[in-house]
Structure formats: C-alpha cells, structure tokens
Amino acid sequence: MYVTVFKRYEKKYMLDAEKFDIVKNAVLEHMQPDEYGYSTICSIYFDTDNFDLARRSIEKPVYKEKLRLRCYGRSASGDDKVFIELKKKYDGVVYKRRVSMKCSEAEEYLLGRGDNGKSSQIGHEIDWFVNFYNSKPAAVVCYDRLAYFGVEDSSFRVTFDMNVRCRSDRLTLGEGDDGVRIIPEGSAVMEVKTAGAMPLWLCRLLSANKIYPTSFSKYGTYYKMTHSKPLRTDADSPAVQSTQI
C-alpha cells in the first residue's frame, strides 16, 4: 500500500469556452504538463443512505469531508492500481490522505468485506470514516483533465476538468466513464492548488478577465440535479463532522 498526504489551498473557478482558452494559453507560458498530462479520471463517491455528505457539502460549511475511490483512466478492475482518497477541507485549507491498492482489494474493503491494510494513520482514518458513516457507493464522477505544475515551484498546480459526467447506476470503476454531463460543453472547472500565495502572473490574469473563485462540487452538483427534496437542517441530519484533520 502506497501512502501520500497533501495539505494545500485550493480554489475553483468556472470557465466558459472563451475564458478557458485565454487561461489555458497563459498557463502554457508559465507551467508544464504533469506526469498524467491529459487524462481521464473516474471516481466513486461514497455517502450515507440519506446522502448526508452531499447535503452537507452543498451547505458550504467551514468543515467538510468526502471519501472516494479513484482511478486514472476510463476504467479499472482486478489488479489495476486505484486510490482511496479521504479529503477534508477546513477553513479553506484542504487535507487529503491517499492510499493506493489493487482495484479488487479496494472495492472489497469499501464494500465491507475486507480490510485496508491498517499499517498507517491514514488507514485508520479511512477505516473510521467507513464505519462511522456506514458509507456506500453513491455516484460515479468522470471527467477529462489537463494538469500542469509550476516551472519554478513544482508544488503549484493548475488543473482543468472538462466534460464532467456523472451516473448513479453501475457503481464500479469497471463500467466505463459514461454519464450525464453536468457542465456546458466547452467549459471547464479550473482548480488552483498551492501551498502558499498564488503567482502574481495568475492573479493579474484572473483579475483582468474578471474570473472569480466559486464554490463548486462535482458530486454535490450532480446530487442537486437528481434530487428535488429540500436540504435537511443540522437538527434533521445525523452528525457529519469529525475532529480528525
């Protein structure tokens, strides 16, 4: 099992086709494609029976967390490498714990029939999440990504997610990357990820083109598209926060 930990600031921006071209061309002047470059990413998001985590995310709380099973590629099964990711956001700072496993082992564990090889603190945190929420697969989210890292600061990253599509059936990574489109064709969700301040060239670019940060959750947006019931209040919903950050 391979373990990684991320702690960084992340900001999201919705770009229409015109602004996507402007920003992408500027990024190419200052950054380089990362190891994946252009890739398709598929994730299974886990939630409670009542979708408490999706509901909580939509409310834009100070603290939120999510669990997903991710692969790089249009599908994964058997011995293919996948990642179990536990992502937490508190007061604008993102903390992500990630472990890699074989797809068959990860799916067996997350469906409650195996273990995750609890040799690390991250393994224990993932295990706590699964047991506390009694989580199960809720949606598959797929998109095509362009990813870049800074030439002078490799920890600075910019990604563009396009053709975001989701489904709530066939909840495995082995069933392909099809789904319902949730953002307009030609547009992109840009994520700026940094351990510190954003580079001046990017600040000026965004300001000049009137591009502002937004709160956007792929899974949360799909949930709103497919569920018409009103959001629960904190009094109606079970606790959805933990103190492990």
Give dist(CA 55, CA 30) in Å, integer.
38
* Residue 28 neighbours by CB distance under 10 Å: 12
DSSP annotation string for 112-145: TSS-----SHHHHHHHHHHHHHT-EEEEEEEEEE
CB 4 within 8 A of CB 110: no
Query: H or E segment at 89?
Result: strand 81-90
Domains parsed from the chain with CATH numbers: 2-226 (3.20.100.30)
- What pTM was estimated for this model as a whole? 0.86
| Local confidence pLDDT in tens for the 245 residues of the chain | 455 666 788 999 999 999 999 999 999 999 999 887 799 999 999 999 999 999 888 887 788 899 999 999 999 999 999 999 999 988 778 888 888 999 999 998 888 766 666 567 888 888 889 889 999 999 999 999 999 999 888 889 999 999 999 999 999 999 999 999 999 999 999 999 998 889 999 999 999 999 999 989 999 999 999 986 443 433 343 333 333 33
